[in-house]
Chains A and B, each alone.
Chain A
Amino acid sequence: MVQLSDRLDASFGALADATRRGILERLGRGDASISDLAAHFDMTLTGMKKHVQVLEAAGLVTTEKVGRIRTCRLGPRRLDAESVWIERYREMLEGRLDRLGAFLERSRDQR
C-alpha cells in the first residue's frame, strides 16, 4: 500500500514549481498536447516533457500517445485545494524557520 506520506512527498515536489501548478490549471480547462503546453508556457518540448513526467509520477497527470501526439489530461489524483494548502503551509513553515534563524542572528547582541 502506498502510504499517504509518500503521496504527499510526491505532490509536494510536483507542486513546488510554479510552471507545474500552471500546467495543472491549464489541464483543468481541457486536455492538451505536450506541444500545446510548451507553446502556452513558452518552453522547449524537452523542458515541458520533464515537467509533465514529474506530474505524471505524482499521479496528477496522465498522458496518452496517439500517433506522434502525446495528450495530457488531469490524472486520477485531482489537485484539490487541500493539497495546495498543505504545500503552501510547508513553504511557509520552512520560510518561518529561516527567518527565525536570521532574527536570532541579528538580535544576538541586544538582549
Chain B
Amino acid sequence: MTTTTPQSTDRFTSSTPSEREYRTERVFDAPRDRVWRAYTEPALIAQWWGRGNKLAIEAYELRRGGHWRFVEHHENGVDGFEGRFREITPEERLSMTFEWDGMPGHPIVETVELHDLGDGRTRVVTTSLFFLREERDGMMQAGMEGGMIQSYAALDRVLAAMG
C-alpha cells in the first residue's frame, strides 16, 4: 500500500485528509477578487472550466440552493455536470454539489476556499468530499434504514388509502 504523504510541487499540494476527502492547495498569481470572479462569472467560467472544449452553461443560479449545470461538448460527444450551491461567501468560500450525468447518484461536495496572501497572490484550497459505498454502508448502519422503513410504511398507508 502507498501512504497518504501529500504530493507536492512548487505551488501545488494534494492530500487525502480523511477517509472521504481529497484536498488540493494551490497558489495563483492573481488577487483574490479576480480568482473569485473566474469562479463565479459564467462568461469567465466558460473560458477555463471545459478542458479546452466548448462549454455550455445551461444554468448558473448563484445563491444557496441554486442550480448550476454545465455541458461540455467534445469530439466524442457531450458530458453534463450539475449540482446545487450549498454555501456562497463572496471572495472567501464557495461550496456546491457536483454530479456527472454518467454517474448519477454519486454526488461530490466541492468546496473552494480563497485565501488572500496579501501580496497580490491567492491560495486556493479545494476539498472534494466523496459519497462512497463505504459511507453509504455506514449511514445504513446508523439508522437510515429505519428512516427508509418509516418512509415505506408511510407509502404503504398512502397506497392503501388510494384503494
Taking Cβ atoms with an 8 Å cutoff, the residues of A that contact B are 2-10, 13, 57-58, 81-82, 85-86, 89-90, 92-97, 99-105, 107-108, 111
Cβ of B28 within 8 Å of any chain A Cβ, yes or no, is yes
Which of B2, B14, B20, B35 contacts A4 (CB under 8 A)? B20
Taking Cβ atoms with an 8 Å cutoff, the residues of B that contact A are 1-4, 12, 14, 16-22, 24, 26, 28-30, 34-35, 38-39, 44, 47-49, 51-52, 100, 102-103, 106, 108, 124, 126, 128, 130, 132-134
Q: Are B4 and A6 in contact (CB under 8 A)?
A: yes
Q: 8 shortest A-B CB distances, which residue pairs?
A: A103-B48, A5-B16, A104-B30, A4-B19, A99-B48, A85-B103, A10-B2, A9-B2
Q: Report the Cα distance A78→B29, complex, angstroms.
A: 42
Dominant secondary structure of chain A at its interface with chain B: helix
List, sorted by A's number, 7 A–B pairs whose CB atoms are closer than 8 Å.
A2-B1, A8-B22, A85-B103, A93-B126, A97-B26, A104-B35, A104-B38
Q: Report the Cα distance A5→B34, complex, angstroms.
A: 33
Q: Report the Cα distance A107→B44, complex, angstroms.
A: 10
Q: Are A94 and B24 in contact (CB under 8 A)?
A: yes
Query: With a CB–CB cut-off of 8 A, which chain B residues contact A10?
Result: 1-2
A71 to chain B, nearest CB (A): 23
Interface-central residue, B2, B38, B47, by most chain A CB under 10 Å: B2
Q: Are B108 and A97 in contact (CB under 8 A)?
A: no
Given contacts A13-B2, A82-B133, A94-B14, contact A89 B30 (CB under 8 A): no
Given contacts A3-B19, A57-B1, A82-B133, contact A96 B49 (CB under 8 A): yes
Query: With a CB–CB cut-off of 8 A, which chain A residues contact B39?
Result: 100
Which of B28, B49, B52, B134 contacts A104 (CB under 8 A)? B28
